[in-house]
Amino acid sequence: MSFISVVFEASLLIPNINTVTNERLLQTLTADLHTLGYSNQTSVDFSQVVIDAMKSKYASLNTRWILMDVRELDFPDASVDIAIDKGTLDAFIHGSLWDPPEDVRTNVGKYVDEVARVLRPGGLWLYITYRQPHFLKPHLTRENIWDLSVEPLKDPDGAGGFDYFGFIMKKHEGKEGTESVEEARELASNVEDASLKSEVVARQEVIEKA
């Protein structure tokens, strides 16, 4: 697959949650990906304030901003090539990571199941987090739906600081969706630098202001 075909064919879903930090990440990730040429994006948030602000700020981008609860995604089954999470799942988590409260298990479970539903066969869910893999894998594992792998992410500027991990969930392929896998892999290689750099910068700013 050529880069141009990836740009126009891949369907991206970018869920976010309304906090000061993640509002900035929502801005930079969507804009960074658009700069790389990925224009077929749908960014969702549960805050109408955030959606309206992003629509206004990035009116020139050919992207979609939709009010939506990630636990009840308003998308057809198998309609998304690639989903990207930068802070949404983390925002659901509180309390003990060893024994998460029931609401954490319920909310995370609903979110993960919804992503699994809307992903096309062969599609990818990319989840970037600072949380340790052994805490997150029990929440993300869906052996009958996708294969899960984890890769450590390095700051492209070499500034150090937080350790991050990239979780990659690749949905099992059926008769359809076989052509979207290479698209997703190519996108994943491009997303890593842009998104990680944005998150590292944002977190450093939060720490400096604390």
Domain residue limits, the chain:
3-209
Bridge-based pairing of strands 12-15 and 80-85 is parallel
Confidence band for 154, pLDDT divided at 50, 70 and 90 = confident
The whole-number average pLDDT for the span 133-150 is 94
Statement: residue 186 has pLDDT above 70: no
- Taking the C-alpha atoms of residue 81 and residue 113, their distance in angstroms, rounded to an integer, is 16
CB neighbours of 81 closer than 8 A, spacing ≥ 6? 9, 10, 11, 12, 119, 120, 123, 124, 180, 183, 184
Short-list 58, 161, 171, CA closest to 43: 58
Band the pLDDT of 64: cuts 50, 70, 90. confident
The pLDDT of residue 161 is 67
Q: Which residue has tokens 């992003």? A: 54
Question: Residue written as tokens 């698209």?
Answer: 183
Distances (CA, A) of 205 to 12, 21, 89, 202: 27, 9, 21, 5
Q: Domain 3-209: give its CATH architecture.
A: 3-Layer(aba) Sandwich (3.40)
The reported pLDDT for the residue numbered 180 is: 43
DSSP 44-91: EES-HHHHHHHHHHTTTSS-EEEE--GGG--S-TT-EEEEEESSHHHH
Among the ranges given (7-11, 120-124, 181-185), the one the predictor scored with the smallest mean pLDDT: 7-11
CA 151 to centroid of chain Cα atoms: 15
Q: How far apart, in whole angstroms, are the C-alpha atoms of residue 128 and residue 130?
A: 7
> Under 8 Å CB-to-CB from 160, ≥6 apart: which residues?
none
The residue among 156 and 153 whose pLDDT is bigger is 153
Residue 14 and residue 44 in contact, taking contact as beta carbons nearer than 8 Å: yes
The pLDDT, as a whole number, for residue 92 is: 92
